[in-house]
A and B are shown apart, each in its own frame.
Chain A
């Protein structure tokens, strides 16, 4: 296990996050999240409003992004799709980061056979690319947004476990941890008070980098018909439904695709910026 360069504690570094990428990414994500949250007020039409007489209209003043084959407003569905995608991303990241960090910190601090057992289990899950295991799980479970969340979270936590295990292992050798141990502080307390907070910086960077990956994986699963189902507005599903119309009605596929691209891009820009700001030397995955 290679030693990670020491990352500065979060509190001291956050104020000097002036990296332009980090800032641009944060602003972009804030705008996208705002658009998704305010969808019911921003959207020009109800999300499921079907109008057979207005099917496949090209973009115009009434429908900025045009309408789909059922005559639904594409802009409205792109806005509502953001709610689905961000909900999936936030849930997956919260669940997998919590699970992974807890297991990783325990493994890293305890060392010995505890670490070996946890890390070998982690290796097994790491052998499955996220989309692959998600496909396998989504086939045996009923396809839905929940299935997507479960499937992606199952494949995502090992990354955090591995990352925080190596952080925790190096922190466990610090004098202040030794001091706490000598004073008789119980191990769970040491982990919670000393090891955990000091291992969080790289996890934060990883979480923002992974936001893009989760959005892309979720969209891909929905595109394959394994995720959100009609009539839920979801970007991957919208691309799937419009793909046969691409040559004749480009707007049906183009706008949801651009929404996926923009959101994933925003997360990547933020992650890249944070990585630069917090620790210029670290290279993740």
Chain B
């Protein structure tokens, strides 16, 4: 176990180093001279030289890379050109809102995707299976931004069943202000017993969370169906059938447990995907998370902010994969050998 652990950790560190290097390359790919961008077009050559010296732009690339890594590690993620605040501070405020949205979406996806996948596997090749396969393929083919716009227009603007945009009714900030603990609004409202904000946030969460859930729900349903069908053709399933267990019991009691392992690693894969898909959803529903931050940064060509978001999400992805791999090593001894 320790050797497996060390190898896997080493691998994750290597990938993180690569991620940092790649982000560095991207930030240095900005067209034009960064010194001119900072000092303005009217700067004299002396001023430009001073700016270059101050930011180390004259240093060899590997020295610049070293400085970049040092800054990242010491918590200096540069300053956003748009908000004029340190990028790390902006991310600290935006990330919890994204986690809230993606978390809600993934919960919906798991709760909907697993039973639907079981249903399809139970009636393999018959009508329920066909309709589940068709629906899940539709779910993964939906352009998220369009789905978000459509749900918003129909259920919020036209029917008025749900709020149109935002995380909660901003008037509540004065009538029942929220004490921040985790920065995740739902959790904080629950801890402090702030019911007005809790109900308002949940109502605001329904539509965007449904949009975020569409893709993962489809993928999870497909994966559960496929693994269950494979499990149901194994020897143990034949034995269970011979012992007189009903097909539904075999699937849910015996086959589902081993089938959940690939679903676990799938969720890690889908997590990062959902965060990035969440960008588009956040932009449509004006959800105050990473996505809205990134979209604002894009429209103002705010490279430090975009690089910060990129780095954060990529690191989250590496971490999520690491955690899932280690968990699987605990759950399934066969995984350690790989």
Residues of A within 8 A of B (CB): 1-2, 21, 120-121, 123-125, 127-129, 131-133, 135-137, 139-142, 212, 216, 219-220, 223-226, 236, 239, 243, 246-247, 250, 253-254, 257, 260-261, 264-265, 267-269, 272, 281, 283, 285
How many A-B residue pairs have C-beta atoms within 8 angstroms? Tell me: 145
What residue of chain A has the Cβ atom nearest to residue B215's Cβ? A216
Structural contact, A260 and B140, CB atoms closer than 8 A: no
Structural contact, B272 and A129, CB atoms closer than 8 A: yes
The stretch of B102-110, B175-183, B197-205, B312-320 that contacts the partner chain: B312-320
Q: Pick 27 A–B contacts, CB within 8 A, sort by A.
A: A120-B14, A121-B18, A123-B14, A127-B19, A127-B317, A127-B318, A128-B19, A128-B310, A128-B313, A133-B310, A135-B279, A136-B23, A136-B306, A136-B310, A140-B303, A224-B280, A224-B283, A243-B149, A246-B157, A247-B157, A257-B146, A264-B141, A268-B137, A268-B141, A269-B137, A281-B230, A283-B262
Structural contact, B226 and A136, CB atoms closer than 8 A: no
Interface positions, chain B 276-297, Cβ under 8 Å from A, are 276-277, 279-280, 283-284, 294-295, 297
What residue of chain B has the Cβ atom nearest to residue A120's Cβ? B14
Structural contact, A265 and B137, CB atoms closer than 8 A: yes
CA distance A244 to B29 in the complex (A): 34
Q: Which of B138, B298, B338 has the most CB of A within 10 A?
A: B298
Q: Range of interface residues on chain B?
A: 35 or more
CA distance A261 to B150 in the complex (A): 13
A224 CB contact (under 8 Å) in B18, B146, B158, B298:
B298
CA distance A135 to B306 in the complex (A): 8
CA distance A248 to B140 in the complex (A): 28
Given A128-B310, A135-B294, A268-B140: A239 touches B19 (CB 8 Å cut-off): no
Interface positions, chain B 248-301, Cβ under 8 Å from A, are 262, 269, 272-273, 275-277, 279-280, 283-284, 294-295, 297-299, 301
CA distance A272 to B273 in the complex (A): 20
Structural contact, B306 and A139, CB atoms closer than 8 A: yes
- Does B153 make an interface contact (CB < 8 A)? yes
Contacts A21-B133, A124-B15, A224-B280 aside, 20 further interface pairs with beta carbons under 8 A come to A120-B15, A121-B18, A128-B310, A129-B272, A132-B310, A136-B23, A136-B26, A140-B29, A220-B280, A224-B295, A239-B146, A243-B149, A246-B157, A253-B146, A257-B149, A261-B141, A261-B146, A265-B137, A272-B133, A283-B262
Structural contact, A283 and B227, CB atoms closer than 8 A: yes
B149 CB contact (under 8 Å) in A21, A239, A261:
A239
- Does B43 make an interface contact (CB < 8 A)? no
Complex interface: chain B residues within 8 A of A141 (CB): 29, 31
Q: Which of B23, B153, B309 has the most CB of A within 10 A?
A: B153
